[in-house]
Amino acid sequence: MTGTELTGTELTGTTMAPPARGQAGPAGRRDSARISARTVRQAKSVSLNGLGLLIALVTLFPIFWMVSTAFKPSQEIYSLTPSLLPAHPTVGNFDQVISGQVTGGIGPIWLFFRNSLAVTLSTVVFASILSLLASVAVARFRFRLRTTLLVLLLIVQMIPGQALIIALFLDFKSLNLLGSLLGLIVVYSAQALPVTIWMLRNFVATIPRELEEAAAIDGATAQRIFWRILFPLVAPGLVATSIFAFITAYNEFIVALTFLGQAQSAYTLPIYVTYFFGRGGAAWGPIMAASTLYTIPVMIFFLIVRRRLVGGLVAGAVKG
């Protein structure tokens, strides 16, 4: 697929030149060159777009399949010839998940939505405030060990949850915070910090110092400079860090799995979804309905913040 498509590129590269300076050649050759250049360009465009379409559809298929299964009645789900779209769409699976009347269910999904929302929003708030303060320190002040600290954050960011979970489990057990959302909020906020500090530091560093200096000369206090000048300019960065903290908390699995254990009322959405996924005779309709309800909000959220996300992530990834 790519092979032919790329050869097309090569052809246009060389054949597109003649029509541009074609005056020198005979009229007939010029015309044929122009026609063939156009055909090649069209062929190239068609194959490029075809490849793009194919990739997009293959990429979207699993998500489509999740939603499609969620709307299928069970005889269609286990049919020997699966159909792309449900022949008799039903909201029965969603009904079961929402009302909690599902085999292996442990309550209506809204309980776990509420838990996830509480954990996620708290993490976003804590991580944003703490990393904003810290990023101003590393971007605006020169102090001893500043560079060491930045490098240390890059390393700390890579410590996997699996390496820490044993000690975290025992520590939070002795604090009596295992079956609670507070324990998760504390861990997630700290886990998000190394990355959010780096992201915000990059944003703060791009704001010209002269703006603050000018305000200071005009007699503005430190608080005023922060709220009136630095904060509005760093707000887009805060959106990016909020997104990162949001994903960290909304998706996190291993800490929630270990901390929450049998405390079902404190389950977050990922633990809820895996809980009734793991209940033996899997009822795929309700499982897909629950996964859909868990996934769709975050997808909508991502589509809304799409533009900012791409820029922020790239800044975070390429610049550290």
Partner 1 sequence: MAQSIRSDHAPRSVPRLSGPGSARERLRTFIRRHKLAPYLLLAPALIGIALVLLWPLAQVAIYSFQNYGLAQITGVLPTQWVGFANFSTTFTDPEFWLSLRNSVLFAVVAVPLNLLVGTIVGLLLNRLGKKMSIFVSTAALLAWATPPVSASVLFYWMFNPDGGIVDWALARMPHWLVGSTDWAGYNWATNGPVQAYTMIAILVIWQAFPFVAVTLLAGLKTIPAELTEAARVDGAGPWRVFRRITFPLLKPIYLVLLLLSVIWDFNIFTQSYIIISLGNQNEYNLSMYIYDKAFGFPPSYGLGGALALIFALILLVVTVGYVRASIRQGALT
- As a whole number of angstroms, the distance between CA 133 and CA 276 comes to 41
| Residue number, 27 or 217, with CB nearest to partner 1 | 217
- The CB-of-218 to partner 1 minimum distance in angstroms stands at 19
Alpha carbon separation from 267 to 118, 183, 274 (Å, rounded): 11, 12, 10
| Residue number, 27 or 167, with CB nearest to partner 1 | 167
- The CB-of-32 to partner 1 minimum distance in angstroms stands at 21
- The CB-of-307 to partner 1 minimum distance in angstroms stands at 11
- As a whole number of angstroms, the distance between CA 249 and CA 134 comes to 20
| Residue number, 27 or 318, with CB nearest to partner 1 | 318
Query: CB–CB of 95/88 below 8 Å?
Result: no
- The CB-of-113 to partner 1 minimum distance in angstroms stands at 13
| Residue number, 13 or 100, with CB nearest to partner 1 | 13
- The CB-of-80 to partner 1 minimum distance in angstroms stands at 8
- The CB-of-258 to partner 1 minimum distance in angstroms stands at 7
How would DSSP label each residue in 32-67? HHHHHHHHHHHHHHHHHHHHHHHHHHHHHHHHHHHH
Q: Which uninterrupted H or E stretch holds 252?
A: none
Reading phi first (left if > 0) and then psi (alpha if -120 to 50, else beta), residue 16 is in: alpha
Residue 234, both tokens? 């760093």
Query: CB–CB of 5/44 below 8 Å?
Result: yes
| Residue number, 91 or 159, with CB nearest to partner 1 | 159
| Residue number, 154 or 211, with CB nearest to partner 1 | 154
Query: CB–CB of 138/203 below 8 Å?
Result: no
Residue 311, both tokens? 């820029």
- As a whole number of angstroms, the distance between CA 111 and CA 96 comes to 14
Q: Which amino acid is at 10?
A: E
Query: CB–CB of 76/284 below 8 Å?
Result: no
Report, in angstroms and rounded to the nearest whole number, the Rg of the chain calculated over CA atoms.
27
Torsion of CA 38, 43, 45, 51, to 10 degrees: -170
| Residue number, 36 or 274, with CB nearest to partner 1 | 274
| Residue number, 152 or 211, with CB nearest to partner 1 | 152
Q: Sign of torsion, CA 274 275 277 278? A: positive
- The CB-of-278 to partner 1 minimum distance in angstroms stands at 7
- The CB-of-95 to partner 1 minimum distance in angstroms stands at 20
Q: Which uninterrupted H or E stretch holds 22?
A: none
- The CB-of-91 to partner 1 minimum distance in angstroms stands at 19
| Residue number, 110 or 169, with CB nearest to partner 1 | 169
